[in-house]
Amino acid sequence: MTIGGKEFERAGHTYIMGILNVTPDSFSDGGKYTTLDKALRHAEQMIAEGADIIDVGGESTRPGHTLISDEEEKERVLPVIEAVKKRFDVPVSVDTYKSGVAEEAVKAGADLINDIWGLKYDKKLAEVIAGAKVPCCLMHNRQTADYKHFMTDCLNDLKESLAIAKTAGIGEHQIILDPGVGFGKTYEHNLIVMKHLDAFRELGYPVLLGTSRKSMIGLTLDLPAGQRVEGTLVTTVMGVMAGMSFVRVHDVEANRRAIQMAEAILKVREESIWDTLG
Known catalytic residue: 214?
A: yes
Quick one: pLDDT at residue 30?
A: 47
Across the chain, mean pLDDT equals 93
Locate the DSSP E strands across the chain: 2-3, 6-7, 15-21, 53-57, 92-95, 112-115, 136-139, 175-178, 208-209, 246-249
Q: What is the mean pLDDT of residues 42-69?
A: 89
Percent of the chain with pLDDT over 90: 87
Name the percent of the chain in helix, strand, coil, to the closest 5.
Answer: 50, 15, 35
Q: State the pLDDT at residue 42.
A: 96
Task: Identify which has the larger pLDDT, 262 or 273.
Answer: 262
Strand order in the sheet with 175-178: 175-178, 136-139, 112-115, 92-95, 53-57, 15-21, 246-249, 208-209
pLDDT of residue 27: 45
Q: Read off the pLDDT band of 61 (50, 70, 90).
A: confident
Catalytic residue among 85, 213, 248, 256: 248
* Distance (Å, whole) CA 15 – CA 273: 26
**Residue that wins the pLDDT comparison between 230 and 277:** 230
- Residue 60's pLDDT band, with cuts at 50, 70 and 90, is confident
213 among known catalytic residues:
no
**CA 214-46-55 angle, 5° bins:** 60
Model confidence at 32: pLDDT above 70: no
Neighbours of 181 (CB within 10 A): 24
Helix boundaries (H) for 25-140: 36-49, 70-87, 99-108, 125-132
The answer to whether 77 and 83 have CB atoms below 8 angstroms apart is: no
Is the pLDDT at 222 greater than 90? The verdict is yes
Query: pLDDT above 70 covers what percent of the chain?
Result: 91
Q: Residues with Cβ < 8 Å from 69, sequence gap 6 or more? A: none
Nearest C-alpha neighbor of 183 from the set 53, 95, 80, 92: 95
Lowest pLDDT segment from 28-32, 123-127, 241-245, 269-273: 28-32
Among 185, 214, 228, 256, the one annotated catalytic: 214
For residue 275, pLDDT beyond 80: no
Exposure string for 192-221, b = 16+ CB within 10 A, e = fewer: ebbebbebbbeeebbbbbbbbbbbbbbeee
In the predicted model, what is the mean pLDDT of residues 76-94? Answer: 97
pLDDT at 237: 98
Determine if residue 204 is left, alpha or beta; phi over 0 gives left, psi from -120 to 50 gives alpha, anything else beta. Answer: left
Strands 246-249 and 53-57: unpaired
Amino acid (1-letter code) at residue 77: V
Q: How far apart, in whole angstroms, are the C-alpha atoms of residue 140 and residue 60?
A: 17
Arithmetic mean of pLDDT, 228-241: 98
Average pLDDT over residues 166-175: 98
Q: Please give the average per-residue pLDDT across 198-222, as a whole number.
A: 98
Q: Which residues pair with 176 in a beta bridge?
A: 137
pLDDT-derived band at 66, boundaries 50, 70, 90: confident
3-state secondary structure of 194: helix
- Reported as a pLDDT band with limits 50, 70 and 90, residue 269 is low
